[in-house]
């Protein structure tokens, strides 16, 4: 199978630094990411475009970038660059995406999109011909969220997905729907039923890390966030996934890291995971 991978950048998201770094004291994480005056840090919203045998598959962590950007109210407003601009640079339009695989359905919406939703003007879903793919167990969570994470699900997005007629719920073993060379790692620590795709490529597989390992700093096993549903479970899942990558020479795709898109991982003499072979971007990494 001919396969190529490219990165696409959506609009960045801002999250509270204290919540993002969980129990880690602020004086430590300040060395990694600089917060604004509201103590928020900026994280990427990076998607992975997989092109294989004429089929275009978009892999996304959450639904942050799934709604169409609202129209500008005046031309003096700067255009916010997003996934569609990245697709255009690759010569693709949104109608040429055949499948959108979402690891989970949480959303941190850009301010203008959030305002439109709040005012009852929810934008349409992007990618009008694509099948929307997500895990069956996680879909049940999204339909009936627990109070702990209800705010992370946008009901208007869930309803549009359900009403699209193009939603396909994946069981944990049916990566074959996406073609040869796809598998899933299941993660429940951040949110129940998160599916992390592993894609076969020359030189080792690539795992899309979702919100299990959102950025390089979370290679530290003990580092979790206040958003994680079950931190102890998440740490165990993280260790299993990273050991799998080390053993198989695999690479980790990071959807949230502000500067790095993909890394390899090794384990040092102190049994700590260390990144190497950094890639800030991918432009048609071919099989």
pLDDT per residue rounded down to tens, the chain (287 residues)? 789 999 999 899 999 999 999 999 999 999 889 999 999 999 999 999 999 999 999 999 999 999 998 876 666 666 667 899 999 999 999 999 999 999 999 999 999 999 999 999 999 999 999 999 999 999 999 999 999 999 999 999 999 999 999 999 998 776 678 989 999 999 999 999 999 999 999 989 999 999 999 899 999 999 999 999 999 999 999 999 999 999 999 999 999 999 999 999 999 999 999 999 999 998 877 76
Closest to 44 in 3D by CA, of 21, 22, 12, 15: 12
In whole angstroms, give the CA distance from residue 78 to residue 13.
17
Cα–Cα distances (Å) from 83 to 7, 80, 258, 275, in that order, read 10, 10, 16, 27
In this structure, what are the phi and psi dihedrals at residue 63, rounded to the nearest 5 degrees? -115, 20
CB 262 within 8 Å of CB 250 = no
Instruction: Find where tokens 């103590």 sit.
Output: 39
In this structure, what are the phi and psi dihedrals at residue 29, rounded to the nearest 5 degrees? -75, -15
Q: Other CB atoms closer than 10 Å to residue 98's CB: what's the count?
A: 15
Closest to 18 in 3D by CA, of 9, 28, 10, 8: 28
pTM of the model: 0.94
Domains of the chain, start order: 3-286 (3.60.15.10)
Three-state secondary structure call for residue 245 = helix
| 125-138 as b/e: b if 16+ CB within 10 A | bbbeebbbbbbebb
Q: Give the pLDDT score at 75.
A: 64
Q: Give the pLDDT score at 287.
A: 67
CB 259 within 8 Å of CB 249 = no
In whole angstroms, give the CA distance from residue 86 to residue 73.
23
Q: Give the pLDDT score at 261.
A: 97
Percent composition of the chain: helix, strand, coil (DSSP 3-state, to 5) = 25, 25, 50
CB 106 within 8 Å of CB 114 = no
Three-state secondary structure call for residue 78 = coil
In whole angstroms, give the CA distance from residue 50 to residue 15.
28
Instruction: Find where tokens 């599916």 sit.
Output: 195
In whole angstroms, give the CA distance from residue 81 to residue 89.
12
């Amino acid at each position: 199978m001919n396969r190529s991978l490219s990165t696409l950048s959506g609009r960045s998201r801002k999250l509270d630094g204290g919540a993002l770094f969980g129990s880690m004291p602020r004086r430590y994480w300040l060395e990694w990411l600089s917060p604004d005056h509201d103590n928020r840090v900026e994280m990427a919203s990076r998607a992975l475009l997989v092109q294989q045998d004429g089929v275009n598959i978009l892999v996304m962590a959450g639904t942050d970038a799934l709604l169409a950007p609202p129209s500008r109210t005046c031309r003096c407003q700067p255009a916010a660059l997003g996934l569609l601009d990245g697709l255009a640079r690759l010569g693709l339009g949104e109608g040429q995406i055949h499948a959108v695989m979402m690891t989970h359905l949480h959303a941190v919406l850009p301010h203008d999109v959030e305002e439109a939703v709040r005012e009852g003007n929810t934008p349409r879903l992007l990618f009008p011909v694509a099948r929307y793919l997500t895990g069956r167990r996680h879909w049940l969570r999204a339909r009936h969220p627990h109070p702990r994470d209800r705010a992370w699900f946008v009901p208007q997005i869930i309803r549009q997905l359900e009403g699209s007629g193009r939603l396909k719920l994946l069981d944990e073993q049916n990566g074959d729907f996406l073609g040869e060379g796809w598998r899933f790692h299941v993660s429940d620590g951040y949110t129940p039923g998160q599916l992390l795709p592993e894609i076969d490529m020359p030189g080792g597989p690539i795992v899309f890390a979702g919100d299990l390992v959102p950025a390089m700093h979370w290679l530290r096993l003990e580092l979790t966030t206040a958003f994680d549903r079950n931190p102890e479970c998440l740490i165990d899942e993280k260790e299993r996934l990273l050991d799998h990558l080390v053993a198989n020479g695999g690479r980790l795709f990071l959807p949230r890291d502000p500067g790095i898109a993909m890394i390899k991982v090794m384990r040092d003499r102190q049994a700590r995971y260390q990144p190497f072979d950094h890639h800030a971007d991918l432009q048609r990494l071919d099989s």
